Amino acid sequence: MTKPKVLISDKMDPNAARIFEERGCDVDVITGETPEELAARIGEYDGLAIRSSTKVTPAILDAATNLKVIGRAGIGVDNVDIPYASGRGVVVMNTPFGNSITTAEHAIALIFAVARQIPAADKRTQAGEWPKSDFMGVELTGKTLGLIGAGNIGSIVASRALGLKMKVVAFDPFLTEDRAVELGVEKADLDTLLSRADFITLHTPLTDQTRNILSRENLAKTKPGVRIVNCARGGLIDEEALKDMLDSGHVAGAALDVFATEPAKESPLFGTPNFISTPHLGASTTEAQVNVALQVAEQMADYLVNGGVTNALNMPSLSAEEAPKLKPYMGLAEKLGSLVGQLAHGNLTQISIEREGAAADLSGKPIEGAVLAGLMKQYSDTVNMVNAPYLAKERGLDVRSVRHEKEGAYNTLIRVTVATDAGDRSVAGTLFGNDNPRLVEMFGIGIEAELAGNMLYIVNEDAPGFIGRIGTLLGEHGINIGTFNLGRRDAGGEAVLLLSVDQPIPDAVIKDACALEGVKVVKALEF
C-alpha cells in the first residue's frame, strides 16, 4: 500500500516530520517557496502542513490534485481559502488548543503592561531619565475585565483574571448560563460590557459578525479611562477610531498584538501615547510552537492513515477509534445515496436520511456526508464526503437527518428518501455480520441485494416466464449474470429485479429489455 505523502511548507518543530514518518507517512520539508513553486510541486502530495507563511489560495488548491488535508499548526486559518478547499473536497484542520495558554498569558502580560505603562517607563529609564512622577498606573485588583469571546483562550484569561481578584464580565453569543457559572464570570450583552469594563480584552475569531466589533460607535460606548487589549485577530478594532480615542483620553491605554494588515510596517496607532504594540507574539513561546507542530502532525497522520478527523473546520470530527466502527456504515450510506441518485427521476428537492437501531447511536454527520457523496457523484466526478454537503447546498437541496430511538425489523438500518417532481423515492439498507452492506428495500418493495459493480435494475409486471426471458436476452448479448435478486409488492403486481453482471451493460441491452412484455423501467447501475 502506498504511503500518504505530506509536504511541510513552513518552518516548524522538526519533531513534526518524525511523527509523520512514525505514523506511516512519507514527508518532505520544503520551506520558503514562492506561490508558483508551491503550485508546481503540490500535485504529488496528500497532505499540506503549514503555519502562517504559506497562503493556500484557489490557485494552489487547483494545482493540488491529490490533496486530502491541510493542517494549520496554530489557530488562525486566514491564510487558507476554506470555502474553496471545501469545494475541492479538502479537509482543513487547525490546532486550537496547542497555543491557548501561551496566548492567554500574553494577553495578561499586556494587561499589566498597559495598566502600568511598562514599555514607556522602561524606554525613558534606559535613556538616562528617572521619570517616576510621570507614570501613575492603576491596580488590577477589583477592576472589571470585559471579555469579548469566552472560548478556549478567553476562558483561560478569565481564570487568570479571577486569580488577580478582578471581576469578569463576558460577552459571547455561545456562552451558556451554566458555562458562565462554571467559569465564574457574569454573562452580559455587548453594550453592558462596554459600559462597565475597566479593561477589555478580545478573544474571538475574525468573521463577518465580529469584524470591527470595537467600531467607532462601540468605542464611544465604553467607560471613560478604559484600557483595551487585543491578542486575537486584526480587524476586530477600528484602528483609526482607537487612535482618536487614545488622543482624546477617552481610552486610557491600548495594547495590540495583532493588526488589520500584517506585517504591520505602519499603522495610525504607531507613536500614539499610551499605545503598546507587539508583532503577533501571542503564540510565540517554545512550548506553544512545539505543541502545535506535534498536534498538527498527529491529526493529519491520523486522518491520512486511519480516517480519524480532529479539529477539522469543514467536516465533523471523527476519532480514530470511532472511524473503524463507522466505516461499514459509511460504505452502506454511500451506496444507498448512489442508488437513489441513479434511480430518482425529476428534480431533487429534498433528501431525508433516517437511522434506526445501532445506526442511531453513531455520529450522524459522517453518515449524512457519505449519503450525499454517493448522491452527488451523479453531478460531479470529484465529489467526496467533504465537498458533498457544499455541492448539495449550492443546488438548494434540503437535507434532513432523522434518528429513531426505536429498533425496527432490523438491528440496524439506514433509509434514504429523496423528494422529486415525480414523488418520493426511498431505499433502505443494513449490515450483515456488522460489516457487509446490504440493500433490503427499494421504493417500498422488500429486496435483498449486494450493491457492487455493474447492475441491471428492472421494474416489470409480475408474470410467469419473465425471468427466463430476461436471462435469455442477456445470454444472447454475451452478458454473464453474477447474482439475481427479486422482490414484489403482491402476486401478479409490480415486481423489481436487481441483478449483477460481469461487465458494463450496453445501450442495446437496455433497448431490448425495454421492449420485453410487461417491462416498465430498465436502468443500468454502477457501483
Helix (H, G, I), strand (E, B) or coil at 144: strand
Sheet with 275-277, strands from edge to edge, namely: 186-187, 167-171, 144-148, 199-202, 226-230, 251-256, 275-277
Strand 91-93 with 69-72, pairing: parallel
Q: Is 233 a catalytic residue?
A: yes
Is 280 one of the catalytic residues? Answer: yes
Q: Let me know: does 429 contact 413? Beta carbons within 8 Å.
A: yes
Whether the ω angle into residue 263 lies within 30 degrees of 0, i.e. cis, is yes
Spatial separation of the C-alpha atoms in residues 63 and 37, rounded to whole Å: 11
| Cell numbers that stand for 196 in this block | 462597565
Residue closest to 237 by CA, chosen among 223, 217, 263, 252: 217
Residue 445: strand pairing partners: 442
Look up residue 412 and give its three cell numbers.
Answer: 440496524
| Residue 452: φ, ψ to 5° | -160, 145
**Annotated active-site residue in 227, 233, 355, 425:** 233
Q: Determine whether 262 is an active site residue.
A: yes
**What ranges in 286-346 are assigned the alpha helix state H?**
286-301, 322-343
The C-alpha cell at 169 is: 464580565
Q: Phi-psi region for residue 376, left (φ > 0), alpha (ψ -120 to 50) or beta?
A: alpha
Determine contact, residues 166/186, Cβ cutoff 8 Å: no
- What is the CB neighbour count within 10 angstroms for residue 481? 14
The active-site residue, picked from 129, 262, 476, 526, is: 262
SS (H, E, C) 348-401: EEEEEEEEEEHHHHCCHHHHHHHHHHHHHCCCCCCCCCCCHHHHHHHCCCEEEE
Among 106, 280, 415, 425, the active-site one is 280
CB 211 within 8 A of CB 235: yes
User: Rounded to an integer, what distance in angstroms lies between the CA atom of residue 267 and that of residue 246?
Assistant: 14
* Residue 121 contacts residue 136 (beta carbons within 8 Å): no
**Catalytic residue numbers?**
233, 262, 280
